[in-house]
């Protein structure tokens, strides 16, 4: 005898009904799309959070000349770099964490004169693009 499907309507279900017999994990095959999460999630920290900062033992300071609208390397890649401090006396300047900065390929868009950008945790090449002038670069190692 074939099995047929039928719609089932459930009425008069109490609002506080709990279903407690689901397994702790549900196996899934195929793909799953979850799209109803809020844009931000609140996170509560109930234990101590330790922040470890890298301490530098030395630094190098350089003044880099930037030609107008030409990608210029501010710092070469350095695996020993702890952080970098870049002082931009004139604007606009685009700074890129990576090679070949441009007006459309950048990480930081500096639009205010006498701006300092501090970069921590990045050891790759840093390039800049923009105003003709000089940029002061300090690398902490």
CATH number of the domain residue 80 falls in: 2.60.120.770
| 104 located within any domain | yes
Size of the chain, expressed as the number of residues it contains: 141
Is 38 inside any structural domain? no
Q: Which domain holds residue 73?
A: 60-140
Segment 110-120 mean pLDDT = 93
Q: Label residue 3 by pLDDT band (50, 70, 90).
A: low
For 34-71, the DSSP string reads -----SS------S------PPPS-EEEEEEEE-TT--
Which residue reads 């089932």 in tokens?
Answer: 8
Q: Within 13 Å and on the Cβ side, how many CA atoms surround 123?
A: 7
Structure tokens at 109: 């868009």
As given in the structure block, the two tokens for residue 46 are: 């109930």
Report the number of distinct structural domains present in the chain: 1
Low-confidence winner among 1-5, 53-57, 61-65, 121-125 (lowest mean pLDDT): 1-5
Does the pLDDT value for residue 49 go beyond 80? Answer: no
- Alpha-carbon distance of 65 to 48, in angstroms, equals 45
Each residue of 21-38: pLDDT tens digit?
667 777 777 777 767 777
Within-domain flag for 82: yes
Nearest CA to 100 out of 123, 79, 74 is that of 74
* 51-85 exposure pattern, b = at least 16 Cβ within 10 A, e = fewer: eeeeeeeeeeeeeeebeeeebeebbeeeeebbbbb
pTM of the full structure = 0.63
Examine residue 26 and state whether it is found in any structural domain, yes or no.
no
Shortest CA distance to 90 belongs to which of 139, 138, 127, 135? 135
Is residue 130 in some structural domain?
A: yes
In a domain, 43, yes or no: no
Specify if 20 maps to a domain. no
């Amino acid at each position: 005898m074939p099995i047929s499907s039928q719609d089932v309507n459930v009425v008069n279900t109490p609002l506080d009904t709990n279903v407690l017999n689901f397994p702790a994990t549900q196996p899934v095959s195929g793909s799953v799309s979850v799209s109803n999460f809020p844009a931000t999630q609140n996170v509560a920290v109930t234990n101590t959070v330790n922040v470890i900062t890298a301490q530098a033992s030395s630094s190098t300071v350089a003044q880099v000349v930037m030609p107008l609208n030409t990608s210029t390397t501010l710092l070469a890649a350095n695996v020993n770099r702890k952080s970098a401090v870049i002082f931009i006396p004139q604007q606009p300047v685009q700074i890129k964490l990576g090679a070949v900065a441009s007006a459309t390929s950048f990480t930081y868009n500096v639009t205010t004169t006498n701006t300092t950008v501090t970069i921590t945790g990045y050891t790759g090449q840093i390039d800049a693009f923009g105003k003709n002038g000089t940029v002061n670069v300090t690398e902490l190692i």
